Structure 1
Amino acid sequence: MSTIPQDRRTFLKTAAASLPFVASTETSSLLDSAGPKKGKVNPIRLSCNLYSFNEPLMSGQMTLEQVLAFCADLGFDAVDPTGYYFPNYPALPDDNYVYQIKRKAFRLGLDISGTGVRNDFTLPDTSRRKAEIELVKKWTEVAARLGAPVIRIFSGTGKELPTGYNRDEVTTRVVDAIRECTDYAARQGVMIVLQNHADFIETADHVLDIVRRVNSDWLAVNLDIGSFKIGDPYAQIARVAPYAATWQLKENLFVNGKEVETDLSKIMRIVHDSGYRGYLPIETLGKGDPRQKVPVFYERVKKALTTIAG
């Protein structure tokens, strides 16, 4: 009694075994054609850094929940809500509220790609710097409860540094603070991502020096393409890109200190060549209603993504 093959792949295996004259290369070709096609899937997805909605969020024109719904309707895969937009920041939000936002995002089909705080590790005063470290630690716990894989931090503004300060000494101060935060974050399962922000960190050399000195698997870069304001930003972005665990794509960047529109095709090529996989958060800045600006930039970035798809 003959057996009916269960599927085409089973049939081809049986046929190949019973036909000795079929070359092995031909058999392989037949079997490959029988299986599912392995098309190249673009691993890059878009997130919205909610600083794009800073004005309506801070003024109360929009709630965090409303912004989440707007982003979901637009087509984003994720959102990155900065800590500023949780009630009573920098005080920690109530767990019930954190879980409410987490549930809301999940029900809308949104991942939470990250969150962030405002900190300053360049402060000369030891007790104030310790308070900044504790701020990052506490918000790392919030990130863990929120389900955010990364928390964005800064090196610091450097505004309180005296004229003629020793940069290496301050960098050591920043490195020690970040290392303490990173060790703590590792126990929470959250990565610390250092954002270049045209402050104490101005160049690729500055950010890479800190990352290498901390030397932790739990520290990476939040690559802010609009905050390299010295020299060629594209060259600096390309140098830092292999260390990025998340990004901030902006409408404009600075070429030799002059603000110009971002060449998104060039940025996407850098993203591709770095081997990055994950979310690309976009962030719109400046005047104008984000409910109008964000969709326009979102479409520009989506179009640029097609240059590295396939």
Structure 2
Amino acid sequence: MSKNSTRRSFLQKCLITAPVMGIAPHTIARTTDRGRDSNSIKKANPIGVSTYSFWRFKGPKEDTPIEYCIDQAASMGFDGVELLLIQMKSDDNGYLQQLKRRAFHAGLDLMGFSTHQGFVYPDKEKRESEIEKTIHQIELAYQLGIPTMRLNTGRWGTIKSFNELMANKGIEPILDGYTEDQGFEWVIDAIERCIPTAEKCGVTIGLENHWGLGRTAAGVLRIVDAVDSPWFQITSDTGNFLENSYEQLEMMAPQTSLIQAKTYYGGGTWYTLDIDYDRVAKIFQDAGYQGYVSVEFEGKEDPKTALPKSLERIRKAFS
């Protein structure tokens, strides 16, 4: 008997005995051909939490160490943790591996890395410095075993105060003597320089809709489409569109690698949005998104009470 005949005989026996074993034949078919079967099982999105949710820039970062955030996230029932780089006390490899081990022992994925950089600078040397910094951040994500990293475009900096920028809905004038097109060219060129490291490390960069040239979905997509790399996608933040938010999230959904879900229990620091998460979940699920949703709590309530409520709200919507 040939090997192929033996294999066919074995599979036929499995299908015959499957009901006896408590496994329906159609379940086996879905498992072996899930990518093409229209009846494939839909799983709920895993829910993580950003360490920013525990700190929110309130007081010294040493008062809210990453280790504490990991332990709290585990006790609250989250599936993973998104690390805020500037909240970490060090980028020494020993410290990074301790965080990885702590998360693993707590049953949590390290599923996102939120970093800061900017490329909207006329000074080429300054842009080069930001490129080098971003490449280093990608390598840190690799050391931590984190599969996706948040990226910013940066902004013109013509409004110095962030509070004033928020009061102006994130809109600021272009730097005198330059054009918006030049800003996009700087950002696109800088990100293209980072792609080889992202590919080598297996870290997907996700450009966030986070003020600057990424303030709108059109701006984000202009950059993502120009770079045109599977290692450069989108981090979709539900709280960073102050107009036409659902329509703009829908534009970005097909190229999203991570969702950051804002909640505002106790009232927001700069503003409060009433986000319909059932509608948001449907937008992303219709686009085929199955990845992580990371809670970013930005309210005034104590995180110890606000984050369990946030988890319940987001998990219910994305289940």
TM score, norm. by length of structure 1: 0.81
Letter in 1 for 2:206: V
C-alpha spacing 1:223/1:35, structure 2 compared with 1 (3 Å): closer
Query: What is the identity percentage for the equivalent residue pairs of Structure 1 and Structure 2?
Result: 32
1:205-284 alignment runs, 5 A limit: 205-229=218-242, 231-251=243-263, 259-284=272-297
Measure the CA separation in 2 of the matches of 1:283 and 1:299.
Answer: 14
Structure 1: distance between partners of 2:45 and 2:142: 23
Cross-structure match for 2:9: none
**Contact 1:198–1:228, Cα closer than 8 Å, also in 2:** no
Aligned partner of residue 241 in structure 1, secondary structure: helix
In structure 1, distance between residues paired with 2:92 and 2:303: 28
Specify the SS of the correspondent of 2:213: coil
Alignment length (residue pairs):
274
1:125, 1:11 → 2: CA distance?
66
Structure 2 SS opposite 1:122: coil
After superposition, what is the alpha-carbon deviation per residue over 1:253-309, rounded to whole angstroms, capped at 9, x for unaligned?
A: xxxxx8531101000101110100111111110323222211111111122123xxx
Q: Who is 1:156 aligned against?
A: 154
Is 1:51 the counterpart of 2:52? The answer is: yes
Counterpart Cα distance in 2 of 1:95 and 1:240: 34
Amino acid corresponding to residue 232 of structure 2 in structure 1: L
| Aligned partners of 1:56 and 1:62 also within 8 Å | no
How many Å separate the matches in 2 of 1:198 and 1:37?
A: 43
Q: 2:179 aligns with which of 127, 151, 166?
A: 166
CA RMSD of aligned residues (A): 2.5
Pairing partner for 1:67 from 69, 75, 79: 69
Q: Are the counterparts in 1 of residues 239 and 273 from structure 2 also a CA contact under 8 Å?
A: no
Letter in 2 for 1:148: I
1:98 matched to 2:96? The reply is yes
Code of the aligned partner of 2:200: R
Number of the residue aligned with 2:268:
none
Distance in 2 separating the partners of 1:115 and 1:31: 41
Amino acid at match of 2:250: A
Separation (CA, whole Å) in 1 of partners of 2:245 and 2:176: 27
- The change in CA–CA distance for 1:80 and 1:10 in structure 2 (over 3 A counts) is same
User: Residues of 1 paired with 2:141 and 2:27: CA distance?
Assistant: 45
Contact 2:96 2:144 in 1 (8 A): yes
Return the letter of the residue paired with 1:232. N
Does the 8 A contact of 2:65 with 2:88 survive in 1? no
C-alpha separation in 2, matches of 1:34 and 1:44: 21
What is the CA distance between 1:33 and its match in structure 2?
7.0
Alignment correspondent of 2:191: 178
Distance 1:61 1:281 in 2: 22
Residue deviations 1:132-182, cap 9 Å, x none?
111111111110010000111100022155236311111011000011112
Offset at residue 43 of structure 1 (A): 4.4
Could you tell me which runs of 5 or more consecutive residues in structure 2 were left unpaired when the two chains were aligned.
1-11, 18-22, 32-39, 159-173, 265-270
Counterpart residue identity of residue 153, structure 1 = L
CA, structure 1 residues 12+144, in 2 after alignment: closer, same or farther (shift >3 Å)? Answer: closer
Q: Is the 8 A contact 2:79 2:108 kept in 1?
A: yes
- 2:203 maps to 190
1:62 alignment partner AA: T
User: For residue 43 of structure 2, what is the aligned residue in structure 1?
Assistant: 42
- Give me the whole-angstrom Cα distance separating, in 2, the residues matched to 1:146 and 1:42: 26
In structure 2, distance between residues paired with 1:34 and 1:129: 53
Specify the code of the residue in structure 1 equivalent to 2:122.
Answer: P
**What corresponds to 2:141 in structure 1?**
143
